[in-house]
Structure 1
């Protein structure tokens, strides 16, 4: 009887103290003229006491011609194995975002160890400044940045969060373009109150804070927004408790129109000129004024976006899904140039919120 011996190789398991968890990745243009990218990763350093609210981190950097090479070189900068499974944020520096982001998206969606649900955004002035920001309290390094985009932690009317999988879909799908939030490093804080608009390759324009709120209203809807209104009776702060919209494309061969219907529930939160009773006629006047302002702001924003020949809302995708002709992309390009907008908003002011 002949005995056979099998040699089984064990798994390459490493203890947790031999691993370094990457929470955020940043890509900037290289600081050296002979390299293309400055690649950065933010590593969380766990504390011994989980009750301590403070966290610490390390940022590793590498100037390279490819992201793959940069991440490989970083392995020589630390005595631990880099683990990307907990990466929740990807930052692209503003200067790089204005050149070409396609290779960056192509790389990340092909990395099986990076989550497709990672948030992606534009960093101002660059990714390094944003990654290097340290909040006063943070249990896990990198979660502070993630919390800006997590709807369970923030309800800002200005933030339009973007997942990695959706960014790649918008980059490859005809009829829709990329929108990214802009994370800006100020002196002592981070601010996320603007949206960047892209074509298929690069950032073409940025929206102001008010335009970002209007854009959110036209797409995903808003909660807890506000508008300042002034008329002959005084100045008011209107709380937009909830706003949502829907549209349909009306194609008459010679012309095409996007007909929007916007519904908003609001309340009068503050009268800047002082507390006073507000009559029903005054509330009706404020409602009409609000509707006119929202109609005008939405129309102006849509026209401004169309001038840049980009389609972040996805009118082209909606049109293509309902048409069966060949050459739909070429046909839509001609249609989009003629697209007009009809905005009709309806505001319901529930109450004043003032002391009578």
Structure 2
């Protein structure tokens, strides 16, 4: 009995040491930016976007504080920032991680990514991207229509707001998986800061922890289709004196690895489209001709993109991962794929069904 009482007393002292801090004693970081530093205090400029809660609980506010620190590591940056604030830093609401364009073009960012993945209070579903000209400038943007700090940026990637075909969403867990896995390379959206708004029209492909290749809007749109993240979009068709736009309400883009004397990747595209805009008068009798022109243009753009990947020796689609999945997973097979990929041949078949010319005939 005396032993039981002693145990209860010990447990009482343990409970008294609870270190939980109330919400009003926390600073919530909603986004983090990492740039290349130009000072002598460290090689990184770390930016924290801290949400400032409104005075009234029912009010909405996009007020945020931008805090920057120069250091040689993420851990040191957090420690220095804590010494500058009177409240605890909380990363549980961090939903965006932005890397500065000059940083990822010149530096190996493996240690930075490693910190984000290891940090227990940062969500693995946080969105990642490249900030242009810098991550700091992107985090400074405060659109007039934004009701919560950073919410405008989150809506781009969460698909709960805009569904722009050029925006590639890459959460932290998938970015880390792709950058570690053999046979598939990560691709991040490039977020351009333009005054009080964002512009996301291009994307960046990474290789060996560095930014290796930049894609324009059309190339990002096609890659989104390959990744299965784009269900509907529009394309510009310009050939044989014809110029018109098609809206695709159904896009299926897949591929097969064909073994043989010369390995081939055969791409198959199936699309259902409607003519959305045209500079010429369109007649129903021309549907077959418009269909052929659309198939030719789609085939040309897709093959041009995959050959661009091949020449840059990058693989954001995952051809190499598919090869590894169908062969013995050993070093010999991987070396064989690295020799095959620069010489592999691409073929494509496009099937386009033109459903009509919109509401005007």
SS at match of 1:317: helix
2:237–2:297 Cα contact (<8 Å) kept: no
Matched, 1:20 2:20: no
Q: Deviations 1:310-334 (Å, cap 9, x if unpaired)?
A: 1111111100111126412111101
Counterpart in the other structure of 2:195: 187
Query: Counterpart of 2:347?
Result: 342
How many pairs align?
352
Once the two structures are overlaid, the 10-residue window that deviates more, 90-99 or 185-194, is: 185-194
CA distance in 2, matches of 1:272, 1:77: 60
Instruction: Provide the C-alpha distance between the structure 2 equivalents of 1:286 and 1:228, rounded to a whole number of angstroms.
Output: 12
Q: Which runs of 5+ in 1 are unaligned?
A: none
Structure 2 counterparts to residues 106-255 of structure 1, below 5 A: 106-230=114-238, 235-252=243-260, 254-255=261-262
Change (3 A) 1:168 1:145: same
Out of 285, 292, 295, the position equivalent to 2:296 is: 292
Counterpart of 1:311 (choices 308, 312, 315) is 315
What residue is the counterpart of 1:87 in the other structure?
Answer: 94
1:150-170 CA distance string (max 9 Å, x none): 122222111111011111111
- Residue 156 of structure 1 contacts residue 223 of structure 1 at CA under 8 Å; is this kept in 2? no
Shift of residue 335, structure 1, vs aligned partner: 1.3
* 1:39 equivalent in alignment to 2:46: yes
**Hey, what does 1:75 align to over in structure 2?**
82
| Cα RMSD after superposing both structures | 1.8
Give the whole-Å Cα distance in 1 for the aligned partners of 2:237 and 2:310.
28
Contact persistence 1:178–1:200 (CA under 8 A): no
Correspondence for 1:282 among 266, 282, 286:
286
**Structure 2, gaps ≥5 residues long:** none
Give the Cα–Cα distance (whole angstroms) in 2 for the partners of residues 263 and 131 of structure 1: 39
Worse-superposed segment, 300-309 or 3-12: 3-12
The whole-number CA distance in structure 2 between the counterparts of 1:341 and 1:76 is 57
Could you tell me which residue of structure 2 aligns to residue 352 of structure 1? Answer: 357
- Deviation for aligned residue 1:233: 7.3
Residues 163-200 of structure 1, C-alpha deviations (whole Å, 9 max, x = no match): 11111111111111111111011134211111101112
Q: Secondary structure at the match of 1:149?
A: helix
**In 2 relative to 1, CA 351–49 (structure 1 residues): closer, same or farther, beyond 3 Å?**
farther
- Mapped partners of 1:97, 1:283: distance in 2: 47
Is the contact made by 1:53 and 1:137 (CA closer than 8 Å) also made in structure 2?
A: no
Q: Which whole-Å CA distance do the structure 2 matches of 1:340 and 1:45 have between them?
A: 55
Deviation at 1:228, TM superposition (A): 2.3
Q: Distance in 2 between matches of 1:235 and 1:53?
A: 46
How high is the TM-score relative to the length of structure 1?
0.94
Q: Which residue of 2 aligns with 1:63?
A: 70
Other structure's SS at 1:246 match: strand
User: Counterparts of 1:186 and 1:127 in 2: how far apart (Å)?
Assistant: 13
Could you tell me the TM-score, scaled by structure 2's length?
0.92
